[in-house]
Amino acid sequence: MTQSITTVDLTGDPRRRRKERRVRAIFLAAGLASIAISALIIVALSGEAWRFISQVDPAALFTVGWFPRRGLYDIPTLIIATVLIAGIGMLVAVPLGLGAAAYLSEYASPRARRRLKPTLEILAGIPSVVLGFWALTFISPEIVQRVFTSAKPFTMMAAGLGVGVLITPLIATVSEDAMRAVPTSLREASYGLGASRSTTVRSVVFPASLSGVVASLILALSRAMGETMIVFMAAGAVGGALRTFNPLEPGQTMTAAVASLATGSDQVAGEGLAFQSLFFVGLLLFLITLSLNSISNRLVRRYRNRY
């Protein structure tokens, strides 16, 4: 009467198993799409970038400025402007972002935090074209030109301040996450030793969240260097720029160089290697931000693992 159960009974309906395999294959293909995109980016950029670097006169890479339509491809001009603008942005955003993060995480009441954090996230969602417009029409005339009366309407200073506004909420939200991830027991231990709240924040919470905080700063730096619209609209220098360290001069970053070449009247046809130079600059930017992001991701993983 008793019937023994065999493995055939347990493996289930072959139709169900076939369907299972098909579904799995579909999901796998979707997973591979992301890899395909990164491969496409590298192929798309490096082909033309190689053509540029192999055909360009090496002397043209280190001249006095970036004027691709005249055959002058001074890469340092772009790098100096990129670092300068990102640096000004960080000078504004680091104290504001970290201060806001520490207050939200350590001092604000839970209710206030629930209201304020989404607002910060909305601030982080303001499109860069809006901040670019505002940097051009408000920051430049109302702040930069008032403080520095000699400043022109288009300056790297105005663009840098605009970039600072852009990355402040990014630093604030990511750092706040890192500070909140510090276990309460560490704070309690500090209070138990008689430390005040400010001492606890400075000597316990901050060091414990350091890797997350640093990750947020690197992420912000990468965003600042990759930001296009603010710089393109507020730093001026459409068509080209002279090499300068003066933030009160117009300047062109790597991103703005790509954007302005691409929106020129002849639409990335240009002369000589102008079209190829776009991809070389793009590849450079890709590699810089990629390395910054991987450092940041690694740091985030480290603090996630610790607590």
Partner 1 sequence: MSITTRSNKEATRREVDRAIRSGGGDWRPLAFQGLLLLALITSFGILVVLLTDIVTNAWPTIQARGFSFVTDGLSLNPETAGVFTGIIGSVIIASIVALLAFPIGISAAVYLEEYAPDNRRTRFVDTTVRNLAGVPSIVYGLLGLAMFVPLVRMIGLGGSTGGKNILAAGITMAALVLPIVIITSIEAIRSVPATIREAGFGVGATQWEVIRSHVMPSALPGILTGTVLTLARAFGETAPLLVIGVATGYFAPAGDASILDRLTGPYTALPVIVFSWSRQTQAAFADTLAPAAIVVLLIVLFLLNGAAIWLRNRAEKRW
Hey, which residues between 52 and 91 contact partner 1 (CB under 8 A)?
none
Tokens 């930069």: give the residue: 144
d(CA 14, CA 219): 49
The encoded tokens of residue 179 equal 């500070």
d(CA 272, CA 267): 14
Q: Which residues contact 27 (CB under 8 A, 6 or more apart)?
A: none
CB of 43: closest distance to partner 1 in angstroms? 8
In the complex with partner 1, the residue whose CB is nearer, 107 or 148, is: 107
- Name the CA dihedral angle for 201, 202, 204, 207, rounded to a multiple of 10 degrees: 120
Asked if 239 interacts with partner 1 (CB under 8 A), we say no
Asked if 102 interacts with partner 1 (CB under 8 A), we say yes
Residues of span 276-295 touching partner 1 by CB under 8 A:
278-279, 282, 285-286, 289-290, 292-294
Residues of span 8-27 touching partner 1 by CB under 8 A:
12, 16-17, 19-20, 23-24, 26-27
Residues of span 180-199 touching partner 1 by CB under 8 A:
194, 196-199
In the complex with partner 1, the residue whose CB is nearer, 99 or 272, is: 99
d(CA 271, CA 263): 14
d(CA 242, CA 152): 15
Asked if 110 interacts with partner 1 (CB under 8 A), we say no
Residues of span 161-180 touching partner 1 by CB under 8 A:
165, 168-169, 172
CA 73 to chain CA centroid, Å, is 25
Among the listed ranges 54-62, 67-75, 144-152, 253-261, the one in contact with partner 1 (CB under 8 A) is 253-261
Among the listed ranges 52-60, 68-76, 136-144, 146-154, the one in contact with partner 1 (CB under 8 A) is 136-144
Asked if 207 interacts with partner 1 (CB under 8 A), we say no
CB of 59: closest distance to partner 1 in angstroms? 26
How would you classify residue 246: left for phi > 0, otherwise alpha for psi between -120 and 50, otherwise beta? beta
Asked if 205 interacts with partner 1 (CB under 8 A), we say no
Asked if 241 interacts with partner 1 (CB under 8 A), we say no
CB of 3: closest distance to partner 1 in angstroms? 18
d(CA 213, CA 178): 6
Among the listed ranges 55-63, 207-215, 218-226, 240-248, the one in contact with partner 1 (CB under 8 A) is 218-226
In the complex with partner 1, the residue whose CB is nearer, 64 or 287, is: 287
Identify whether the C-beta of residue 232 lies closer than 8 Å to the C-beta of residue 153: no
Identify whether the C-beta of residue 72 lies closer than 8 Å to the C-beta of residue 66: yes
CB of 36: closest distance to partner 1 in angstroms? 10
* Identity at 134, one-letter amino acid code: W
CB of 277: closest distance to partner 1 in angstroms? 12
- Cβ–Cβ contacts within 10 Å for residue 61, how many? 16
Tokens 């579909």: give the residue: 26
Asked if 127 interacts with partner 1 (CB under 8 A), we say yes
The encoded tokens of residue 200 equal 């606890």
